[in-house]
Amino acid sequence: MNGNTLVMKFGGTSVGSAEAMAQAVEIVRQARQEWPRVVVVTSALSGVTNLLLDSASQAAAGNAQRFIGGAAELKALHTSIAEKLIAEAAAQAQMRSEINLLVSEFTNLCHAINVLGEATPRALDAVASLGERMSIRLLAAALESQGVASRAIESTLFVITDNRFQSAHPNIEETNLRTRQLLNPLLDQGIVPVSSGFIGATREGITTTLGRGGSDYSAALIGAALPADDVWIWTDVDGVMTADPRMVPGAHTISQLSYREVAELAYFGAKVLHPKSIRPVVEAGIGLRVCNTFNPNHPGTRIYTEVNHLEAGKIKAVTTIRKQVLVTIEGRGMLGVPGVAARAFAAVAATHTSVPLITQASSEQSICFAVPSESAKQVLDSLRSTFSLELASQDIDSISAGEEVEIITTVGAGMRATPGVAGRIFSILGANQVNVIAIAQGSSEVSISLVVDARDAKAAVAALHQLITDDLPA
């Protein structure tokens, strides 16, 4: 045993069916034999959050049939799993009652949205939270049925946030205090708290959500607050992969990564870990492991503050951000004029759009940056409004967006200050007829990002992954 307290988070696919949840129950049961204090954090069942939000959206648009049908789907899915995993008749009846109450709450919320013809961010958070609120009750009851003392506890009671609905920020000090107050007494009694990921509440008790993928963040917050000795993220792949296996069939698990490396991977499109989940465990110095619910004996990926040794020039992973466009602001009148970049990015920020990559020519005559393709029109409109005078006077010649591109990022701390890495990257891309439109290197020197035409992305990822394969021991 490595310590006393373990936090385990299960993603939606890990609890998305009776078979998957039974596997999660067995994983918790075995962990409980080795760790005296275990906390479980769970997402909603796979597909449920999408169903909830789509129903609310359709209700706002006037389609009441969607949420009526959605309510029936929710009840059938959760009741079916309860019947398969909860042996005792009384416990089954109790679970059906709790599911029915939450489904009724969903129906009432959607009915109100339908009448108003509007789904506010606050209302959407209330609807979206119902998936986790159902899954914690189901998983806790399934654990109890297998002899593991458990208690479902909603994270709205201890994850205290601001009122920025749909992407709330936790108050760390208050969250830490309440987490310890509520969870430690249960852990001291040998009870496994089963907590909802993804959701929190304001000081006034109004439900908020931490953003999509926020269940990882929830697990990290709980781990940092207690504090835990380890946080394990259970998903449906064998840890963090060298590339998306759907794009590269030869992708394999990375045995160890540094926090800095995994943060770069998370930011640049890897789906295994949520970017915000990194910070709390880093600051608390807590161990982090990513492992596969459906292959629990696989060691998965271990993530450390710093890896013990850096392999010179080693690229560990290749990841992509899809559906991007490059926005370019160019003009000779920009030369030496202070504040152009600040005004440009203020205009982008006003549209609530994230910019994953920026490049600027040393001549200062152009600025180029990537934005999601669905945000391109809104960003262009905002920029053209901001620089309307400069466009009229031709101090700025044009503000334009190109065709759809993808950002491909190679990650590896061993690339830092190693001569020849960039040369290998561009040589293999050239050999595979891939044109690089733009490049950027993070100040951490852990990653190099390249922009390529969307049609070339698969070939580019496969080529760069070959560099990882070439570096493997014979």
Query: In CATH, what number does 5-236 get?
Result: 3.40.1160.10
What is 27-62 written as a DSSP string? HHHHHHHH-SEEEEEEPPPTTHHHHHHHHHHHHHTT
Average pLDDT over residues 414-420: 73
pTM of the model: 0.85
Spatial separation of the C-alpha atoms in residues 461 and 416, rounded to whole Å: 21
Domain 317-470 sits in which CATH superfamily?
VC0802-like (3.30.2130.10)
Beta strands in 119-175 (DSSP E): 150-153
pLDDT (tens digit, 9 = 90+) per residue, 91-134? 999 999 999 999 999 999 999 999 999 999 999 999 999 999 99
pLDDT tops 70 at residue 313: no
**Other beta carbons within 10 Å of 438:** 19
Q: Beta strands 199-201 and 150-153: pairing type?
A: unpaired
Start and end residues for every CATH 3.40.1160.10 domain found in the chain: 5-236
Structure tokens at 392: 């009229």
Provide the pLDDT for residue 302. Answer: 92
Per-residue confidence (pLDDT) for residue 273, from 0 to 100:
77
Tell whether the model's pLDDT for residue 1 goes beyond 60: no
Please say if the pLDDT value at position 199 is more than 50. Answer: yes
Furthest-apart CA atoms within the chain: distance in Å: 78
Q: Quick one: which of 49, 38, 37, 40 has its CA closest to 13?
A: 49
pLDDT at 64: 93
Tens digits of per-residue pLDDT, 9-62?
999 999 999 999 999 999 999 999 999 999 999 999 999 999 999 999 999 999
Contact 170, 225 (CB under 8 A): no
Name which of 159, 271, 174, 268 is nearest 210 in CA terms: 159
**Average pLDDT estimate for 338-348:** 91
Across 244-248, 294-298, 336-340, 363-367, least confident range? 363-367
Grouping H, G, I as helix, E, B as strand and the rest as coil, residue 351 is: coil
Mean pLDDT of 311-324: 83
- Which tens digits make up the pLDDT trace of 273-307? 776 777 898 888 898 999 999 999 999 999 887 65
Q: Tell me whether the omega of the peptide bond preceding residue 227 falls within 30 degrees of 0, making it cis.
A: yes
Average pLDDT, the chain: 91
Check the CA dihedral 238-243-248-250 and report its sign. negative
Cα dihedral 122/123/129/130 (nearest 10): 160
Q: What is the pLDDT of residue 124?
A: 97
Segment 253-269 shows an average pLDDT of: 82
Whole-number pLDDT of residue 77: 97
- Quick one: what percent of the chain has pLDDT higher than 90? 76
Sign of CA pseudo-dihedral 207, 211, 216, 218: negative
pLDDT at 308: 54
Quote the percentage of the chain above a pLDDT of 70: 93
Q: Range(s) for CATH 3.30.2130.10 in the chain? A: 317-470
Residue 363 pLDDT grade (very low, low, confident, very high; cuts 50, 70, 90): low
Report the C-alpha gap between 51 and 77 in whole angstroms: 12
The pairing of beta strand 398-411 with beta strand 317-330: antiparallel
Answer yes or no: is pLDDT of 270 > 70: no
Q: How far apart are the first and last CA of the chain?
A: 34
Any idea which of 156-170, 431-445, 449-463 has the lowest mean pLDDT? 431-445
Report whether pLDDT(371) > 70: yes
